Amino acid sequence: MIWKCTDKIIEYGKKPLIMGIVNVTPDSFSDGGEHFNPQDAVDYALQLVRDGADILDFGAQSTRPGYTQISPIEEMDRLEPVISKVRALTDVPISIDTFYPVVALNTIEWGANIINDVSGVINEKMADVVRDNGAGWIIMHNGAGGVNEVRDFFISSAKRCEELGIDKSQLCFDMGIGFGKDRKQDLSLISSVSDYKLPGYPLLLGTSRKRVIGEYGGESEPKNRDYGNVSADTVAVLGGADIIRMHNVKAEKQGVYFAYAVKNARE
- Residue type at position 21: I
Q: Give the Å distances, CA to CA, from 114 to 95, 138, 165, 195, 232.
A: 4, 7, 17, 26, 24
pLDDT number for residue 64: 65
Reported confidence tier of residue 134, pLDDT bands at 50, 70, 90: very high
**For residue 210, which amino acid is it?**
K
Q: What's residue 116's pLDDT? A: 98
Q: What percent of the chain has pLDDT over 70?
A: 96
Q: Give the mean pLDDT of the chain.
A: 94
pLDDT at 183 over 80: yes
Predicted pLDDT at 29? 53
CA 119 – CA 162 distance, rounded (Å): 19
**91 in Cβ contact with 107 (< 8 Å):** no
Identify the pLDDT of residue 31: 56
Model pLDDT for residues 66-88, shown as the tens digit of each residue: 667 899 999 999 999 999 999 99
Confidence at 256, pLDDT banded by 50, 70, 90: very high
Q: Specify the pLDDT at position 66.
A: 65
**How confident is the model at residue 171, as a pLDDT?**
98
Confidence of residue 65 (pLDDT cuts 50, 70, 90): low
CA nearest neighbour of 37 among 73, 85, 70:
85
- Greatest pairwise CA separation for the chain in angstroms: 50
pLDDT in tens, 191-222: 999 999 999 999 999 999 999 999 999 999 99
What residues are labeled active site?
210, 245
Q: What is the mean pLDDT of residues 166-183?
A: 97
pLDDT digits (tens, 9 = 90+) for 4-38: 999 999 999 989 999 999 999 876 556 555 777 89
Q: Domain extents for the chain?
A: 2-266
How far is 246 from 210, CA to CA, in rounded Å?
Answer: 10
- DSSP-assigned letter for residue 16: P
CATH superfamily name and code, 2-266? Dihydropteroate synthase-like (3.20.20.20)
Contacts 24+ apart (CB under 8 A), 149-154: 150/175, 150/176, 150/189, 150/196, 151/195, 151/196, 151/198, 153/120, 154/196, 154/198, 154/201
Phi then psi for residue 148, to 5 deg, are -65, -45
* Mean pLDDT for the stretch of residues 108-132: 98
SS3 81: helix
Contact 45, 56 (CB under 8 A): yes
